[in-house]
Homo-oligomer: A and B are copies of this chain.
Amino acid sequence: MAPAATGLSNEAQAPNPSRFDPSFTQHVLDTMGPKTTDRNRVVLGSLIKHLHDFSREVELTIDEWMAAVHFVNDVGKIYAESGKTRNEAHRVSDILGLETLVDEIAHKIVSESGVDPTSSAILGPFWSPNAPFRDNGSTIIQNPAPNGRVCLMHGVISDLVTGKPIPNAVFDIWQASSNGKYDFQDPDNQSPNNLRGKFRADENGKYWFYCYHPTAYSLPTDGPSYTLLQMMDRHPMRPAHIHIMVTHPEYKGCTTQLYPKDDQWLATDTVFAVKDDLVVDFKPLKGDDKAVLELDYNVILAPKDYTGKTF
């Protein structure tokens, strides 16, 4: 609506003349009422501006808009029809890089010293709050799987500032089996908490246990997220990875993932969760009849009140 009739601002929103009403986006923003919280005003205001700018930039067609409406409905339909087990909205946001981005926004710390804490990576949908504590030296493999390559994983959890070990830090690990499935997804082959466990670091900050070398797997290929991947001519693969969540009451927790350095999907991970310090080297292990591989991975945590470099 033009300013004459509505009293709307006539301020231009684009630097160039355009056939589009320059006051439209501001008009939409101005309908927000006084009881909108400050945060909602900022977040929804920015969302509306970007949505409008995107639409004008690409001159979004009515058919494309309607396809997007149907896409959103289809995303939620799968969630409803699967009894809330298939979270396609989560997956769509992942393949657009959004979960990795909000993880970076929430957790990225850059130190002044040049040594940074261990990078975070997305939690993903398969963490369980119910993983049992296990003893250092034990195994998370409850249901041995064909082709599973057993690995002795160990390392030290230490303080970013002092470099000292952090005794009693909790190292929580979860991983898919050699078929690329987690216990939740594979009840015929895996009992609950197979390939899950929490380990408490010893007095020297050390943890050690047996797990599998991880296996690459595909996201589901029968839903809207795969449709979107196909529109972008992208594959649905995640590189092989081990999930870890390392916590201690006096430190900022670190939720992350570790990737074998020779995995073919590292550079094009479909959810963009790979970072350099998370790429690891599994080495052949001799003299241990329980494992054929070894992974030495040290974790660095920042103290709870650590802020790092400000920008």
Chain B residue numbers with a CB within 8 Å of A57 are 46
Chain B residue numbers with a CB within 8 Å of A81 are 80
Chain B residue numbers with a CB within 8 Å of A37 are 231
Q: Does A202 make an interface contact (CB < 8 A)? A: no
Q: Does A274 make an interface contact (CB < 8 A)? A: yes
User: Contact at B279–A5, with CB atoms within 8 Å?
Assistant: yes
On whether A76 and B72 interact (CB within 8 A), knowing A32-B233, A50-B54, A108-B20, the answer reads yes
Chain B residue numbers with a CB within 8 Å of A21 are 104
Total copies of the chain: 2
On whether A105 and B56 interact (CB within 8 A), knowing A65-B99, A76-B80, the answer reads yes
Binds B, one of A86-94, A150-158, A172-180: A86-94
Q: Does A181 make an interface contact (CB < 8 A)? A: no
What DSSP secondary structure best describes chain A's contact surface? helix
Q: Does A145 make an interface contact (CB < 8 A)? A: no
Which among A7, A75, A228 has the highest number of chain B CB atoms within 10 Å?
A75
User: Contact at A60–B102, with CB atoms within 8 Å?
Assistant: yes
User: Contact at A274–B50, with CB atoms within 8 Å?
Assistant: no
User: Contact at B69–A93, with CB atoms within 8 Å?
Assistant: yes
Q: Does A130 make an interface contact (CB < 8 A)? A: no
Q: Does A12 make an interface contact (CB < 8 A)? A: no
Closest to A310 in B: B19
User: Contact at A28–B79, with CB atoms within 8 Å?
Assistant: no
Which among A25, A51, A274 has the highest number of chain B CB atoms within 10 Å?
A51
Which among A1, A88, A103 has the highest number of chain B CB atoms within 10 Å?
A1
On whether A102 and B62 interact (CB within 8 A), knowing A32-B232, A275-B1, the answer reads yes
A-B pairs with beta carbons under 8 Å apart, 27 shown: A1-B266, A1-B274, A2-B276, A16-B311, A19-B110, A19-B311, A24-B100, A31-B268, A32-B232, A33-B233, A33-B234, A46-B58, A47-B96, A50-B50, A50-B54, A61-B105, A62-B103, A64-B102, A65-B93, A65-B99, A68-B89, A69-B87, A69-B93, A72-B92, A73-B87, A76-B77, A76-B89
* 10 nearest A-B pairs in the assembled complex, by CB-CB distance: A76-B76, A33-B233, A77-B80, A72-B89, A35-B233, A50-B50, A28-B97, A73-B79, A50-B54, A65-B102
Please name 4 further chain A to chain B contacts, defined as beta carbons within 8 Å, in addition to the given A24-B100, A61-B106, sorted by A numbering.
A16-B311, A43-B64, A73-B84, A77-B79
